[in-house]
Amino acid sequence: METELRQQKKRVDFDLSDFTEDERAEMDKMYEESIKNFSEGSIVPGKVLEVRDTEVLVDIGYKSEGVIPADEFDDMSQVNPGDPVDVLLEDMEDQEGMVVLSKRRAEQKLKWERVLSILSEDSVVEGLVKSRVKGGLMVDVEGVGAFLPGSQIDTMPVRDTGIYLGKKFEFKILKIDARRRNIVVSRRELIQEDMERKKKDLLTTIAVGQWRKGMAKNITDFGVFVDLDGIDGLLHITDMSWGRIKHPSELVSVGQELEVVILDVDLEKERVSLGLKQKSANPWEDVDKKYPVGSRLKGRVVNLVPYGAFVELEQGVEGLVHVSEISWTRRISRASDVLAIADMVDVVVLTISKEEKKIALGIRQTVENPWDGARERYPVGSRVTGKVRNFTSYGAFIELEDGLEGMIHVSDMSWTRKVNHPSEVLDKDAAIEAVILEVDSDNQRISLGLKQAQDDPWSSIGQRYRIGQLVKGKVTKVAAFGAFIEIEEGVDGLVHVSQISEDRVEKVGDVLDIGQEVEARVVRIDAAERRIGLSIKAINVPEEDFMQQTGDMFEGLKPGEDLVDLAGAFDEAYGASNAKQAVEEWHPGDKGDSDNEDGNN
């Protein structure tokens, strides 16, 4: 023991030989008494004995020295033997018999004790944001780390916490856990308290009609929320511009400073309605004077809808051009077929409604209407030439002049044929001659006739053919009830199945082929109905015998009576079987129900 005491005493800066035996005894007693006061976890004063490369040897007046790692010192170049240093006694003795000391933990404990002495829950402190951790940020408060949860950073959700690093803010202390040495702080609490204070101040002074500055805080489809420094007001999309905008972001961006007018204040619900367009005069106030009905203007297409196009005449004033007002002659289904956004167009003002803020515009009115004077230029009965432009199932459209078309119905394409589709007779882009049948300028329709421009072969059919006459022709069509024979261009006669052969014919196609040349005798002529009845088997009967045997039979037939009935009567005269069948397909000059189809171009 004596040896240890001597070794300890040699480390201090005085010599025990200078003292008397009683004094040395008293000092030994005091030294032993001081050793008893050392306890783990306490902070004790010490002195630097030696500075090494990676550690510092420190004497705390205990039986052995302690070693502190070099990284616990801020600057090792400033550490010298003899320097005082406060340390935390972590362990009285390690495996090598030395005390375990920590300078860093001593500083932390001292800081924590100082913080506890000056801070309390709900107090406000300034702190520096040091780093990001899971769930939030770490803040240096008076040298002690405090936790700032992510939900307490701001009143709005924060996506990027990195923007707060290295910045100083004021924080409110939410919780202090002395045992765990844990502090939880909030920035949001202070922001909300400040907002509530500003809101109360603002609501006592705000009034309708005031102009106030604010910042665009959030943008939605229906408007912009503006921070008025105390309360958020809504700037609705309809109050942003006198003109049409599709989305508020076209005029405003987040963070932009705005000057807005107070339109309405609801103190009970703490709601404020704002306006931006009111900064400029309402362009609709004198719109009827600036754009009188009938005036011709130039505007820009700003929006396209299926039923028309919106044209901007000036900022805040738009008019609608309906699809029906785009062209005099073309049928336009969608405005986008002929117009595009940003197109500059000439328009004419048709109507104005200041109350409803509506202007009807027309584009076609900027050019001459080709239908004006159409009756004079195309009198009924006159012959015209035109170009085939388009087909429908019921007719063909013929361009008579630029922007003016007429239509030929399928029933007016041939005197002799039943035309099922105009392509059977006409070719697109072909130049043709036609006759004006009707002009309806009000409904913008011109009816044309193709066959009327040609001679009607049936008008003189009685002069070219007579009953009993032998004729030659080619088979053009075969049906169940008989065959059609072209006896001249455009004129077909019908040979009923019963009149093909003396023998019974079950199927016409077994006896006659399309294109086959045959000889037949005329048994009936009906110019009014445009029908000629033929008989192949009657060619073997002498003409005088034919007329003698059938004379009475023909006198009893009514004009227009079906030729099949004639064939049946003819069979009866020659003893053949009854062959009454419908010949409904054979109506070369009959319009039928097709007259009811819309002939509008």
Q: What would the pLDDT profile of 130-177 be if each residue is shown by its tens digit?
A: 999 999 999 988 778 889 999 999 988 888 989 999 999 999 988 888
309: phi then psi, degrees, rounded to nearest 5: -135, 140
Res 198: pLDDT? 84
Res 582: pLDDT? 34
pLDDT at 14 over 90: no
pLDDT in tens, 197-233: 888 888 888 888 889 899 998 999 999 999 888 788 9
pLDDT in tens, 246-298: 899 988 999 999 999 989 988 888 889 999 888 888 888 888 889 999 999 99
The one-character DSSP state at 72 is G
Percent of the chain with pLDDT over 90: 31
pLDDT at 546 over 90: no
Whether 458 and 415 have beta carbons less than 8 Å apart is answered as yes
Residue 98: closest CA among 56, 42, 149, 158: 56
Local confidence band at 586 (pLDDT 50, 70, 90 cut-offs): very low
pLDDT at 28 over 50: yes
Residues listed for the chain: 601
Res 201: pLDDT? 81
Percent of the chain with pLDDT over 70: 84
Q: Count CB atoms within 10 A of the CB of residue 272.
A: 25
Report the C-alpha gap between 535 and 522 in whole angstroms. 7
Res 147: pLDDT? 93
CA 297 to chain centre: 31
Domains and CATH numbers, the chain: 2-108 (2.40.50.140), 119-191 (2.40.50.140), 206-279 (2.40.50.140), 287-364 (2.40.50.140), 374-453 (2.40.50.140), 466-573 (2.40.50.140)
Residue that wins the pLDDT comparison between 592 and 433: 433
Local confidence band at 555 (pLDDT 50, 70, 90 cut-offs): very low
Res 235: pLDDT? 92
pLDDT in tens, 40-98: 667 788 888 888 888 888 888 777 778 888 887 878 888 888 888 888 777 777 777 77
pLDDT in tens, 486-535: 888 778 889 999 899 888 888 998 889 999 999 999 988 887 777 889 99
359: phi then psi, degrees, rounded to nearest 5: -130, 125
Q: Count CB atoms within 10 A of the CB of residue 593.
A: 7
pLDDT at 551 over 80: no
Res 571: pLDDT? 44
Residue 385: in which H helix or E strand, if any? strand 383-392
Q: What is the mean pLDDT of the chain?
A: 80
Angle at 127 between CA 121 and CA 130, to 5 degrees: 125
Res 593: pLDDT? 40
Res 118: pLDDT? 73
Res 575: pLDDT? 40
Mean pLDDT across the stretch 461-474?
A: 87
Please give, one letter per residue, the 3-state secondary structure of 490-532: CEEEEEEHHHCCCCCCCCHHHCCCCCCEEEEEEEEEECCCCEE
Residue that wins the pLDDT comparison between 104 and 573: 104
Res 315: pLDDT? 84
pLDDT at 585 over 60: no
Mean pLDDT across the stretch 378-405?
A: 89
Res 494: pLDDT? 92
Local confidence band at 568 (pLDDT 50, 70, 90 cut-offs): very low
pLDDT in tens, 170-198: 999 888 887 777 889 999 999 888 888 88
Report the C-alpha gap between 471 and 350 in whole angstroms. 68
Res 2: pLDDT? 38
Mean pLDDT across the stretch 302-321?
A: 91
Report the C-alpha gap between 411 and 388 in whole angstroms. 17
Residue 515: closest CA among 471, 488, 485, 539: 485
Q: What is the pTM of this model?
A: 0.43
Q: Count CB atoms within 10 A of the CB of residue 595.
A: 12
